[in-house]
Copies of this chain bind each other. A is one copy, B any other.
Amino acid sequence: MADSNGKRDHFIGVDLGGTKILAGVFTPQLKCLGKVKMSTKPERGPEGVLERVTRCVQEAVDECDLTFDNIKAVGIGAPGAVDPEEGRIIFAPNLKWEDVPLKRVLEKQLGLPVFAENDCNACALGVYETELDPKPRSMVGIFLGTGIGGGIVLDGKPYSGFNRTAGEIGHMILEVNGPKCGCGNKGCFEALASRTALFRKIQTAVKDGQKTVLTDMLGPDLTDMKSGDLRKALRRGDKFVEKVIEEAAEYTGIAVANVINLLNPEVIVLGGGVMDQLADEMMSIIIETARDYALTGTIKGIEIIASKLGDDAGITGAAVLAKRESK
C-alpha cells in the first residue's frame, strides 16, 4: 500500500469488448500500475458479463497490491450507444444488449462511483488526455482493429451526437458497390481496411494461388494470423503483403481526408491493433493519400499522428473519464 499512501486517489479504467474485458489501475497522474484481462463470455448475458467486469476490477486492484479503499472511481468504455449521463448502454449490437443500466449495476457490485462512455470515445479521450500537448480544440481518433471505430473530442469533451453513436467511421461508405461489410452494406471503410478485411483479402488470394511468406510462417491455412505476422512478412520483403497493406493505408488516407473535409479537426490520431503493429509502414501512405484527397487548403497545419497507447487506449480513456467525472 506504499504506492498510494492509503489515499483514495487511484482510478480504474475498464474496456468492455465483445471478446475480452480489460481492467487497469491508474495513479492520480494516470500512470497504469497494472492490468488484468478476462474473456467476456457474452453468451452469459448482461448479468453474467457485468459480474465478470466486477471480478476483473477486483483482480486488477489486487494485482497492484491495493484495496478498493484506494480507488476513487471506475470508468468503463462499452461498445455501442452509451448514454454517459445515465451510464446506460442504449444498445450494443456485438454484445446483443439493449438498455443495460451499466452504471447502476456496477456501482452496486463495486461500491464505487462508476462512469460510462462509448468504447471508441473512451479511446479518443485517453489519447487526447495523455498523448496530446497542448490540447487541440478538436480531435478525431480512428481505431483500426478487428473492426474500425472512431471517437470525436470537441472542446475537450467526447462528442456523441443525437443517438450517442457519432464516430461510427468504420461504416462510412468509401466505395459504393465495394466489398461486403458485416453491417450488410457494401464498401464501408471497415470492409476495406480493418484487420478482418486485410486477412480476408490475403486468405482469398492465397486460395487463388497467391504466393506469400505468410504460408511458410503459419501454414497453408494461415491459422491464427495476427497483425504482427503481416509486419514480419513485410520485413521479409513480401511484395504481396506490402501491396495489401498499401491499399489499406490508401483507403485509410481517403477516410482521413473525408473527416478533414467534413469536420476539419485540429488533430487526427490513428490507433488500434493494426496501427500498433503497422504504423511504421502505413503512416506515410495515410498522410500522403489524405493530402491528395483533402480539398486544397483544408489540411494545412492539421496533425495526423499514430497513437502509442495500443490496446491500452480504452482503459486509459476510461480512467481519464473516472478522474474527470469524480472531481
Chain A interface residue number, banded: 35 or more
Within 8 A of B (CB), among A117-164: 136-138, 150, 152, 154, 160-164
Within 8 A of B (CB), among A269-310: 292-302
Given contacts A173-B257, A258-B173, A295-B168, contact A264 B301 (CB under 8 A): no
Partner of A163, one of B257, B292, B300: B300
Given contacts A162-B301, A295-B168, contact A150 B185 (CB under 8 A): no
Partner of A172, one of B136, B258, B299, B300: B258
- A262–B264 touching, CB < 8 Å: no
Judge if A261 is at the interface, Cβ distance under 8 Å. Answer: yes
Q: What is the minimal beta-carbon distance from A105 to any residue of chain B, in angstroms? A: 21
CA distance A172 to B265 in the complex (A): 15
Q: What is the minimal beta-carbon distance from A251 to any residue of chain B, in angstroms? A: 8
CA distance A21 to B173 in the complex (A): 36
- B93–A296 touching, CB < 8 Å: yes
Partner of A160, one of B165, B187, B264: B264
- B254–A173 touching, CB < 8 Å: yes
Given contacts A173-B174, A174-B176, contact A262 B262 (CB under 8 A): yes
Within 8 A of B (CB), among A154-193: 154, 160-169, 171-178, 183, 185, 187
CA distance A57 to B299 in the complex (A): 34
Judge if A81 is at the interface, Cβ distance under 8 Å. Answer: yes
Given contacts A91-B297, A93-B296, A183-B296, contact A264 B166 (CB under 8 A): yes
